[in-house]
Chains A and B, each alone.
Chain A
Amino acid sequence: MRRVLAVWLPTFSTDRIVRAMLHGAGGAAWGKTRERRLPLVLLTSKRGGIEQVERCCLRARQEGVSCGMTLAHARSLLPPRAELLVQAHEPHHDEEALLRLARWALRVAPTVAADAPDGLLIDITGTQRLYRGEPRVVRSVAQGINRLGFAVRVAAASTFACAWAAARYSSDAVTVVPAGQERAWNREYPIAALRIDPATIEGLRELGIVRLGQVLAMPRTPLAARFGPDILARIDRLVGQLDEQIDPIRPREPIRAEMVFDGPSDRWEALELAGRRTLTELLDHLRRHQRGVRRLDVHLARPDRVNEQLTITLSRASANEKHLWSLLRARLEGVDLGGGAPDSTAPTGIEGVTLIASRTAVLRARQAVDGRLGSTDDHAAEASLGEVIDTLVQRLGADRVLRFKDASTHIPEQAVIFESVMSPYPERITPRAGEKLPPPRPARLFEVAQRAAVMALTPDGPVTRLRWHGHDYAVTACVGPEKIEPEWWRWESPPDHDEQPSGRQRTRLRHTPSAMPPARDYFSVQIEGGRWLWVYRAAISEPSTSTSCADGSDHVAPPASSRSAWFVHGEWC
C-alpha cells in the first residue's frame, strides 16, 4: 500500500536567507550568534510602487507581520530598535534552493518532488522497513531538515493531498495519518486544506462552510454545479478515490571516468597512463554534450590511507585535451606514490583513478570557417589566453595572477585596481552612459608621491624648474593643469559657516578639523633629457594645516609657511 510524506517549510525563504548569512562570507562573525540575536527578516517586492512583504520570518510573524502587508505597515508593528533585514524576494532563488533540498531528500526515498513554493512530497512506500517503522521515517526527515536550518512540519498519509493538508493544518509538527483514516482525520481542518483557489474558499465561507467536514457532508452534484468540478477532484484525491501523480526529480549524475588497477601501484607510469586514459574518456563524453570542463575533481583511491582528492579549476571552459593534461599532469606529479611508513606491511600506491567533471559549461558554438572548426582568430586567441592563465594559476596560485580593473574614479592612484584573474567577469566592460573614458595617465605611477621643489608661475603654471631627488632640472615643456578634487564624501564635512545662529539650543556636533585632502593640480612636465614626469601641486588654501590622506597615499605634510606643496606622482614612458 502506498504511503507518502509531505514536508512543509513554513519559513523557507527567510530561513534560507538566515542560513546563507550564517554560512556565508560573514561566517566568522555570525558563527556564534544565538538565534535571538539574528535579525528579523522580511522579503519584499514592489507592487505598483509600494513595497510589500512577500515572506517574513517566524519572529516577525509573531509580532503581527503577515505576508501581503506593505513594508511600512510591517515596520510599524516591529520594535523600533529591532535589527531588521529587508531584502528583495527572489522566487527563483527559492526554487533553486527547494530543488537542492529535494535532491537532499533523495537519501530518504527515490521518489521526491519539489512542491513549490515551500514544500516537498516524498513517496516512502516500502522504505519503512529500512527505518524500522514509519514514525521513525517521519521523525528522521523532520530532524534532518531541521538540522539544515529550516523550520519544518512533516506528515505521513496514504495520499499526497492528505499528507499535504496534515503537514500544514495539524496541530503537531509531525503527524502520521493512519491508512484509511483520511476522511475522519481531516474533518476539523479548514477548507484551505483542500488546496483550492482562494475565491472558492471565500465563496464557501460566505455560506458558512469553513471546515473540511462540512464540505465532505455536502451533496456532490450541487456543490460541483456551484464551485466547479475541481473541488470534487480535490476531495477525491484527499480521500484516496483518485490517484495523484507527482513529478519526481531525477538525480543528476556528474560526468565521470574511472579506471581501477588490479592492485596498488606506486609507479608513475601507471598513474600517468591511467590519468591520460580517463581524461580522454571523460572528454569524449563531454564532447558529445558540447560541454567543456570548468572544474575537474580527481579522486585517487589508496589502500593505505584516506583517498586523495585533487581539484583543478579553469578560467574558461575547456575540452582541449592537451591543455587539460598539462594541468592534470602537473598535479599528478606532486602526488606522493611512495606510500606510508617504510616499515608498514600494507601495500602502497594508487589503486584507481576517477575523474569527475564537477562543473561544466557549454562550449561556445564555433562557426566553421574554411571547413575547419574554431579557426577564427578571436576564438583561438581567447582559448589560448585561457590556457596561459590556467597554467599560470596552476603554478602560482589564483590569488597571484591578477588582472587590471577600471575603478571609475578621478583619483589617479585609485583608478586602477587589481583582482584575481579567476574572479568572475564584470558584467560591464564598456563605459556607462555619461561616463567619460579615463583620461591619459602615466604608465608608471609611484606608489607614494615623491616630494619635489618646483619653480612655477602662479596661479596655475607653467612649471619652469624642478628639483627632485637632489637634482635640479630645467623644464622644457609643461602641459596642464588638470585639477582633481578629492572624493569629498569620504571625509568629514567641514563646519558650515553659513549656519544662521539659531535661537534654539542644540547639541553641537563635534567638529574635528577637516581632514579633507586638498585638491591637486597635475602637470605633465618634460625635463631636460626628455623624460616626461607627472607632477602635482596640492593646492592648500588654508595655511598651517597638516594634511593626511586616509586613502593610503600618504604624503609629507608641507611646511607650514608654504601655500602649496609639489609632488612627482609618476612618469610617462
Chain B
Amino acid sequence: MNLEELKKIREKAQRDLQLRQKQARIRIVVGMGTSGIAAGAREVLKTFLEEIGRRGLTDVVVTQTGEKGLASREPIVEVYEENKPVIIYGNINSEKAKRIVVEHVVNGNPVTEFAIEAI
C-alpha cells in the first residue's frame, strides 16, 4: 500500500465527482471543545463522517467547533440546513448520530426526542 494508489482513486473518483458538484445542503457541526471531547464527541464525529461517507452524501459537510457553552448536554451536535431552523441536539452518542443521519439528514425529519433547541 502506497501513496501512488491515490492516483487511481483520484482518476476513478473524478469521473463521478463531475456529475455531482453541488452546494452543501446540510452542515453538521459537532462540539469538540475540551468538555465535548471528554464527553465522547470524538466517537460522534467519527460516526457522522463514516455514515455520510458510506452513503455517498456529497452535499453534506461534517465539521467541528470549539466550546458551545452547553457543557452539561454534551456531546452537542448542530444541524444547519438552508431555510430551516438550526436544530441543536444534546447528549448524542454514536447510535443517536446514526438515527440523526437516517431520519434528519436523509429523510428530512429532525429527531425531536434528541433536540434541545431549534433556532
Whether chain B is bound by chain A comes out as no
